[in-house]
Amino acid sequence: MIRAVMVMNTQGKPRLAKFYDYMPVEKQQELIRSVFGVLCSRAENVSNFVEANSIFGPDTQLVYKHYATLYFVFVFDSSENELAMLDLIQVFVETLDKCFRNVCELDIVFNFSKMHMVLNEIIFGGQVLETSSSEVMKAVEEITKLEKASNAISLVPKSVSSWQS
C-alpha cells in the first residue's frame, strides 16, 4: 500500500502532501521535515530508494525523483514494488507535464486542485488505480469538461433557468 505522496521544493516547502493513513497535521509536518532532511543530505550518485523505517515505522520505504526544483516522493510498504513506484512517479510527472506543458513549481502552486485530480486518478486510498498517463489525461479532461459545464449552469440567472423548465 502507498502510505504517502509528497511533492516538495528544494528548500523543503511542501507543495503537495497526501497521506493515506490518518495522522494529525503536526505529525504530517514532522514527517515531511524528516523526509526532506533525508533527501537533501543524499549525494547525487546514490540510489533513489530509501529505507524509511526510522521515519514511518517498520516495513516502510520511500522512493523519490528530483526534477528541477522539485522532489517527488512516494512512501510505501513491502506490498509494493520499488521499481513500480519509481515508474509511477514517472507517470505522475509525465501526466503533469501534459497538463501544464512542462510542469514547474508555479504550476503546482496555482493549480493545486488539478494536481490533486491527477493524483487521485493514479492513486486512490493508497492503491494504484491507473498506470497509463494517456488514460489519466482522458479522465482529467473529462472531469474538467464536466466542471466547466457545471459552472456554466450555475452562472445562469435563476429567472432564466426557471423560464427554461
pLDDT tens profile 78-90: 899 999 999 999 9
Sign of the dihedral defined by the CA atoms of residues 147, 135, 131, 9, in that order: negative
The domain segmentation of the chain, as residue ranges, is 2-155
pLDDT at 158 (0 to 100): 60
Local structure of residue 157 (DSSP, 8 states): -
Q: Is the pLDDT of residue 156 over 70?
A: no
Enter the C-alpha cell of residue 102. Answer: 512542462
**Residue recorded with cell 503536526:** 26
Tell me what the mean pLDDT of segment 100-104 comes to.
83
pLDDT at residue 91 tops 60 = yes
pLDDT given at position 70: 92
For the cut 90, the answer to whether the pLDDT of residue 143 exceeds it is no
What is the per-residue pLDDT for 26?
95
Q: Quickly list H helices, the chain.
A: 25-40, 53-56, 82-100, 105-110, 112-122, 133-155, 158-164
Q: Are 62 and 52 in contact (CB under 8 A)?
A: yes
pLDDT at 160 over 60: no
CA–CA gap between residue 30 and residue 35 (Å, rounded): 9
Q: Would you place residue 35 in the very low, low, confident or very high pLDDT band (cuts 50, 70, 90)?
A: very high
Query: Residue 80 has which C-alpha cell?
Result: 509494493
Mean pLDDT value of segment 122-144: 91
Please give the grid coordinates belonging to residue 27. 505529525
Domain 2-155 sits in CATH at: 3.30.450.60
Q: How does the average pLDDT of the chain come out, rounded?
A: 88
**Greater pLDDT, 35 or 157:** 35
* pLDDT at residue 7 greater than cutoff 90: yes
